Amino acid sequence: MRCKVLIGLLLSVSMQFATAKPNADWNDNKYAKSAPGLLQEYIRVDTRNPPGNESRGVEFFARLFNAAGIAYESGESAPGRGNIWARIRGGDKPGLVLLHHMDVVPVNEKYWDVDAFSGIEKDGYIYGRGALDTKGLGILHLQAFLALHASGITPNRDVWFIATADEEAGGIYGAGWLKDTHPQIFENVGFLLNEGGSGGKYGEDKVFMVEATQKVPLWLRLKATGEPGHGSRPQVETSVTRLLRAGNKVASAQFKPHVVDPVRDMFAGLAKYQIPEFRAAFANIDEYVDSAEFMLSLQHQLPGNNALLRDTCSVTTLVGSSKINVVPPEAVLELDCRLLPDQSPSVFLQSLTTLIDDPNIEIESIMSFTPAISSTNTILFESLQSVITRFYEDAKVVPAVSTGFTDSHFFRDMGIISYGFSPFLLDEADARTVHGNNERVSVENVQRGTALMIDVVDALIRN
């Protein structure tokens, strides 16, 4: 009798995993119901970076894995910089990784209406740093992983849950460390879901962006040298004046615009949702990209879209003298440059050197990644499209290019199809809270998103 009851329970959980369906059924799923409370707990784990302290997040997940009887491994890349990973073994098809980062950006509490690490629920929303970036996504991954484990199903491929450190500072102590020190994890991994995509509302329409590539960061430090002296005796030229001249050249530069294939597809997919003056241009962006008037108008109204059509550099830091009446022997300026995926960082760096045209300025590369694009002609992308449109009737799924960067680049370099995908459907006000004040996600988004993520995993492990 006990054996029959156990089998019945396993079949019940299995069917629940396989049928966590949309609309009327999604909020009856037990994993969807428990997800908001887990997110509140997770937000209360303070992992702001710097310093990170992601080992606190490891302890959070370890407790849950222990309770579920799931084996896991963890490791610190440096004291307090923890990472954790677990696997559900399956067949020999290329595996799936569910990846998110545990660290969050700092906050300025005086601009928040609530304690940023309280995880408080208020008016149907869960507030706290990381609610969207990316602790909310991490809980959705966790619940899908726990549901699959509890179901007793043997998937057709391995499914991994991975939570890492340090993404907000470049990922060196997190995804980069894991890739370098534990490459065996990724030996038969074919697919990875990470942050970077989003769902948005355009009037009555719903559009989900699935990030398939991103601009390549090239962070540069410019150092100018010159004769030091007293501020009361101005010189013809100093380290500061040299640096200001170079910075002005870069800040004023409008690098030649051009269209890469993923951006062309993205603009075409979003054309119908634009204001009237931009619809035709988005649908036929190649015909408009050389128009200075159009590009200026786009930069004024949609700077993020403008940045997808050209390489860019922003002057972000400037350091000169530590004393107002001292002309310093050297001055430093830092640039956040973002390159389109088809641009060579070395070629761009050479063009920047030519533009600055000053042998007294040294240009140092602080960080740069290689470009990589994930094809959308895959069973995972098909699964995302199928499941999203079941949960949100008539929703449009559009491949996207991100102006920012995520840890996905580490894995695209390894040949792993990596998508940025979040099942949260956000309005503009909520989306602006990422890295901002009063970061929040609705309870409904967490619950519906959990059920949606379960279905995405379910679709892939049966395909």
Query: Residue 26: pLDDT band by 50, 70, 90 thresholds?
Result: low
- What is residue 46's predicted lDDT score, i.e. its pLDDT? 98
Candidate from 185-189, 372-376, 415-419 with smallest mean pLDDT: 372-376
The pLDDT of residue 202 is: 87
- Determine the average pLDDT of the residues in 440-453: 97
Determine the distance from the C-alpha atom of residue 286 to the mean position of all C-alpha atoms in its chain, rounded to a whole number: 28
Mean pLDDT, residues 202-225 taken together: 95
Containing 156, the helix (H) or strand (E) segment is: none
Q: What is the mean pLDDT of residues 37-61?
A: 98
Whole-angstrom CA distances from 158 to 11, 185, 328 are: 21, 10, 58
Q: Which of 150, 84, 106, 133 is nearest to 402 (CA)?
A: 133
Q: Cβ(164)–Cβ(99) under 8 Å?
A: yes
| Burial classification of residue 105, based on how many CB atoms lie within 10 Å of its CB (0-12 exposed, 13-18 middle, 19 or more buried) | middle
Q: What is the pLDDT of residues 136-146, one digit of tens each?
A: 999 999 999 99
- Return the pLDDT at 203: 84
State residue 19's pLDDT score.
43
pLDDT band for 431, please (50, 70, 90 cuts). very high
φ and ψ at 300, to 5 degrees? -65, -45
Query: What pLDDT shows up at residue 28?
Result: 77
Q: What is the mean pLDDT of the chain?
A: 93
Q: Is the peptide bond between 134 and the residue preceding it cis, with omega within 30 degrees of 0?
A: yes
Q: Which amino acid is at 206?
A: K
Helical segments of 222-309, H only: 239-252, 261-270, 276-283, 292-301, 303-306
User: What percentage of the chain exceeds 90 in pLDDT?
Assistant: 91
- Mean pLDDT across the stretch 320-346? 96
- Mean pLDDT to the nearest integer, 279-296: 97
Q: Can you list the positions of beta strands (E) in 102-242?
A: 121-122, 125-127, 157-164, 189-194, 198-202, 205-214, 216-225, 229-230
Contact between 27 and 128 (Cβ < 8 Å): no
Q: Is the pLDDT of residue 110 over 50?
A: yes
Question: What pLDDT, on the 0 to 100 scale, is given for residue 145?
Answer: 98
For residue 99, pLDDT over 80 is answered with: yes
How far apart are alpha carbons 97 and 86 in whole angstroms?
Answer: 10
pLDDT for 373-389, tens place per residue? 999 999 999 999 999 99
Give pTM, 2 decimals. Answer: 0.90
Answer with the residue of higher pLDDT: 26 or 261. 261
Query: Has residue 430 got a pLDDT over 50?
Result: yes
Which residues, other chains included, contact 243 with Cβ-Cβ below 8 Å and sequence gap of 6+? 222, 224, 318, 320, 331, 332, 333, 361
Q: Where are the domains of the chain?
A: 2-196+406-461, 216-368
Mention the CATH class of domain 216-368: alpha beta
Of the candidates 309, 303, 300, 365, the residue with the CA atom closest to the CA atom of residue 335: 365
pLDDT over 70, % of the chain: 94
Q: Is 321 exposed, middle or buried (0-12, 13-18, 19+ CB in 10 A)?
A: middle
Predicted pLDDT at 38 = 98
- Whether residue 241 is predicted with pLDDT greater than 80 in this model: the reply is yes
Q: Residue length, the chain?
A: 463
Task: State residue 349's pLDDT score.
Answer: 96
Question: In whole angstroms, what is the distance from residue 404 CA to residue 406 CA?
Answer: 7
Integer Cα distance of 36 and 40 in angstroms: 6
Is residue 174 within 8 A of residue 164, CB to CB? The reply is yes
| 3-state secondary structure (DSSP) of residue 232 | coil
Structure confidence at residue 348 (pLDDT) = 96
Task: With CA atoms as reference, report the closest residue to 195 among 250, 129, 121, 140.
Answer: 140
Q: Which CATH superfamily is domain 2-196+406-461 in?
A: Zn peptidases (3.40.630.10)
Q: Is the pLDDT of residue 320 over 80?
A: yes
Give the relative orientation of helices 135-151 and 55-68 as an angle to the nearest 10 degrees: 20
Are 325 and 348 a contacting pair, CB within 8 Å?
Answer: no
pLDDT for 13 beyond 80: no
